[in-house]
Structures are given as structure tokens and as C-alpha cells.
């Protein structure tokens, strides 16, 4: 073997050893690279407190998702991902591409939370109008619900947000804490409480807790105790809000590809039937979101699910002739139930 051949073979051997090291043992090896980049990207977002943002990494491609409060926050989150580790292609081992699937938060109405309270403790989710409002509300949660809590509350970057939002939310949660089970919703103009109390005194105390909610938050409540109802469902606006809260009492679930409602979903519909029976409207609108908007099979299934909801409400005493069913591929909720004069939106 000539010296030239030996040099070539030595070069090939060195290259193969290097390739094995890179693909199997080095920091840029595929089995280490993805998990490392994923951890670095998440840490970078967490360090900047982008509570709205989510990131996942597939290979060297990072995907950003979530609802950003403004374009500056989105750009800053993208920059955080790019700079979480050195950028580059396969050889340098950094993030080579960022896919932006994030979307804008839709106006002030997204500054809202929904809360459920029961035997499993408190769960609360939504978007606060600012970091300060979120922190203030979370401090109240720790005081009112010292046991089990599941909190998923993001924040918008709006330092000029209504300062009364957290105050109204705290008063609303104070009312919820006085119930055995219940649900609460706070949005940009209403504080809604629904649930069951152990006795009339507790029901009245729960409603009284947030009657002094600051402007512009309108208190809306409906609490049951000892076969009596406390609160007001006599206006169209109150009725629609209470229906949404009542539906939270049982998560609406269907088996994949099926129109059968879960037992928990039926429980929620029983609460809905109780509220609508006290509402001034005669009609009810059920709108169902298909799994895939625009897909005929999915929309047919959605319509069947709506009919099942309708028949279940009829079994709880409502007149089926006054209930309409529509399919709506644009709504956030899987199932939405409103008085018929509120329309499909």
C-alpha cells in the first residue's frame, strides 16, 4: 500500500469517526439536539415571562403558538426563540427555522377568566388584562382557595388596563368560595356567578360578596339552595350569561366520532335547563363546532351532536319545538347555548 493510499484511508477513517461522534454522542447529535433546543427555547420564553407563548421543537425547527397581546410581544418572543441557542443549520446545531403559528388576542373581550369550583378544588383559566392584574388576582386565589388549585391564567401587555378588573375578579371569587359547587365568569363588563349553596344564608352571602363590583362590571348571579333560587335571570343579557356559566358545571364531551354525551355533559345540561326555565325567552339556540370546519362528514356529526343536546334538554323538561340547532365552525366552544334572540354569533 502506497503512502498516498494510507493517507486517503486515514482521512476516511477520521471522517467516519467524526461522523459517528456528531450523530451519536456530540451536543449536536440528533438524539440530544432536539431535547436541548426544546429546553433552551422554553427557558428563554420563561425568563422573559411570555405567559401567553408556547414553543415546541421538532429536530431543529421551533414552532411558536399562543395568542399575543401586541405585535411587539410576538416579535420579542420570536427573537427569544432564535437567540435561545446559536442559530444555524445542521452542522452548527442551533435552531434553523422558526414557524410562527401565534395569533393576535381578539380585543378587550379576551380579558376574561372562567373558574370552576367543586370537590376537586378550583380551576381557573383565561387572560388577564395585564401582568399586574394577573398577579393581584392570583394573590386572592391563594387566600380564598388554599387547597387544590389548577391555574392557567395568561396576561396581556396592557399597563393601562382597567384597574378594577382584578378587584371585580377577587370579589367574584369570594362569592364562589362560599358555594358548595359553582362556576364564575369575569369578562370586560360582567361578573357572573352560578352554583349551589348549602343553605339560603350561604347563597345570599355568595351573591352579596360581589354586588359592589366596580364599574363597568355588572354583577349577574343565580344560586340554588334548599329548592329555592337566588339571583336574577329575568333579563335577556343575564339569561345568556347564566346559561354559559351553567354549562360549565359539566364539561361537554363526546366520544370521537360519536354524538353520545358524557355523563358529565348531561349534568351540565341539567343546570342549563334549570336556568332557561326561568328566562323570559321562549326559544333556545344550540350551536356546535365541527371537528373540521367545512368538512361535510364533520359538520354532519356536529349537527347530530346538536340534536343529542336538544333531546337531552327536552328530557329535562324543555319544549323541543322551541330549540334550534346550527353548526358554527368559527366559535371557540364545542357547544354553545344561548337564548334564540342572541343569534348564532
- With 70 as the cut, is the pLDDT of residue 86 above it? no
Strands 335-339 and 284-288: antiparallel
Q: Would you state the pLDDT for residue 91?
A: 40
Q: 245-345 belongs to which CATH class? A: alpha beta
The stretch 116-123 carries a mean pLDDT of 90
3 state DSSP class of 80: helix
The stretch 202-227 carries a mean pLDDT of 89
Which of 2-11, 58-67, 259-268: highest mean pLDDT? Answer: 259-268
Q: Would you state the pLDDT for residue 148?
A: 83
Which of 58-62, 124-128, 200-204, 292-296: highest mean pLDDT? Answer: 200-204
pLDDT tier for residue 89 given thresholds of 50, 70 and 90: very low
Q: How many CA atoms lie within 13 A of 153 on its CB side?
A: 27
Task: Output 215 or 192, whichever has higher pLDDT.
Answer: 192
Q: Would you state the pLDDT for residue 22?
A: 43
The stretch 294-321 carries a mean pLDDT of 91
- Kindly report whether the peptide bond that precedes residue 216 is cis, defined as omega within 30 degrees of 0: yes
What pTM was computed for the model?
0.66
Rounded to the nearest 5 degrees, what angle is found at the Cα of 128, between the Cα atoms of 125 and 134? 90
pLDDT tier for residue 11 given thresholds of 50, 70 and 90: low
Task: Output 5 or 87, whichever has higher pLDDT.
Answer: 5
pLDDT digits (tens, 9 = 90+) for 20-49: 444 444 444 444 445 665 666 666 565 555
Q: Any idea of the CA torsion for 291, 294, 295, 300, to the nearest 10 degrees? A: 70
- With 80 as the cut, is the pLDDT of residue 6 above it? no
Same fold, 107-231 and 245-345: no
pLDDT digits (tens, 9 = 90+) for 144-201: 998 888 888 877 766 666 678 889 999 999 999 999 999 999 987 889 999 999 999 9
Task: Output 228 or 185, whichever has higher pLDDT.
Answer: 185
Going from N- to C-terminal start, the domains of the chain cover 3-104, 107-231, 245-345
Q: What would the DSSP string read from start to end of 124-151?
A: EEEEESSHHHHHHHHHHHHHH--S-EEE
The stretch 196-219 carries a mean pLDDT of 90
Rounded to the nearest 5 degrees, what angle is found at the Cα of 283, between the Cα atoms of 278 and 287? 110
- Looking at every residue in the chain, the average pLDDT score rounds to 78
Q: Would you state the pLDDT for residue 29?
A: 43
- With 80 as the cut, is the pLDDT of residue 319 above it? yes
Q: Would you state the pLDDT for residue 28?
A: 41
Q: Would you state the pLDDT for residue 10?
A: 64
Q: Would you state the pLDDT for residue 236?
A: 63
Q: Is the dihedral of CA 125, 328, 288, 268 positive or negative?
A: positive
Report, at the CATH architecture level, how domain 107-231 is classified: 3-Layer(aba) Sandwich (3.40)
- The answer to whether the CB of 70 falls within 8 A of the CB of 160 is no
- With 90 as the cut, is the pLDDT of residue 3 above it? no
Q: Would you state the pLDDT for residue 64?
A: 79
Amino acid at each position: 500500500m502506497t503512502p498516498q493510499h494510507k493517507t486517503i484511508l486515514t482521512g476516511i477513517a477520521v471522517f467516519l469517526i467524526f461522523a459517528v461522534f456528531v450523530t451519536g454522542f456530540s451536543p449536536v447529535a440528533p438524539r440530544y439536539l432536539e431535547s436541548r433546543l426544546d429546553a433552551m427555547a422554553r427557558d428563554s420564553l420563561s425568563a422573559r415571562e411570555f405567559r401567553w407563548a408556547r414553543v415546541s421543537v421538532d429536530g431543529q425547527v421551533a414552532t411558536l403558538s399562543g395568542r399575543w397581546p401586541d405585535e411587539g410581544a410576538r416579535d420579542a418572543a420570536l427573537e427569544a426563540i432564535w437567540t435561545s441557542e446559536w442559530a444555524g443549520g445542521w452542522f452548527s446545531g442551533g435552531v434553523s427555522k422558526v414557524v410562527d403559528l401565534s395569533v393576535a388576542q381578539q380585543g378587550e373581550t379576551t380579558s376574561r377568566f372562567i373558574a370552576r369550583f367543586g370537590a376537586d378544588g378550583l380551576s381557573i383559566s383565561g387572560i388577564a388584562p395585564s401582568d399586574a392584574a394577573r398577579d393581584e388576582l392570583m394573590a386572592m386565589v391563594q387566600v380564598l382557595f388554599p387547597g387544590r388549585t389548577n391555574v392557567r391564567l395568561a396576561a396581556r401587555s396592557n399597563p393601562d388596563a382597567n384597574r378594577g378588573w382584578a378587584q371585580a375578579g377577587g370579589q367574584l371569587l369570594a362569592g364562589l368560595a362560599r358555594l358548595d359547587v359553582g362556576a364564575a365568569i369575569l369578562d370586560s363588563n360582567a361578573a357572573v356567578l352560578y352554583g349551589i349553596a348549602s343553605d339560603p344564608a350561604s347563597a345570599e352571602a355568595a351573591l352579596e360578596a360581589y354586588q359592589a363590583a366596580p364599574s363597568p362590571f355588572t354583577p349577574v348571579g343565580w344560586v340554588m339552595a334548599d329548592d329555592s333560587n337566588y339571583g336574577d335571570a329575568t333579563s335577556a343579557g343575564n339569561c345568556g350569561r347564566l346559561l354559559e356559566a351553567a354549562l360549565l358545571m359539566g364539561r361537554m364531551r363526546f366520544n370521537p366520532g360519536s354524538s353520545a354525551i358524557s355523563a358529565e355533559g348531561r349534568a351540565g345540561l341539567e343546570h342549563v335547563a334549570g336556568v332557561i326555565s326561568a328566562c323570559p325567552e321562549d326559544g333556545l339556540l344550540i350551536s356546535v363546532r365541527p371537528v373540521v370546519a367545512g368538512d361535510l362528514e364533520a359538520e354532519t356529526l356536529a349537527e347530530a351532536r346538536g340534536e343529542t343536546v336538544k333531546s337531552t334538554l327536552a328530557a329535562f323538561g324543555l319544549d323541543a319545538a322551541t330549540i334550534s340547532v346550527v353548526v358554527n365552525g368559527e366559535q371557540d366552544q364545542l357547544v354553545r347555548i344561548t337564548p334564540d334572540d342572541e343569534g348564532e354569533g
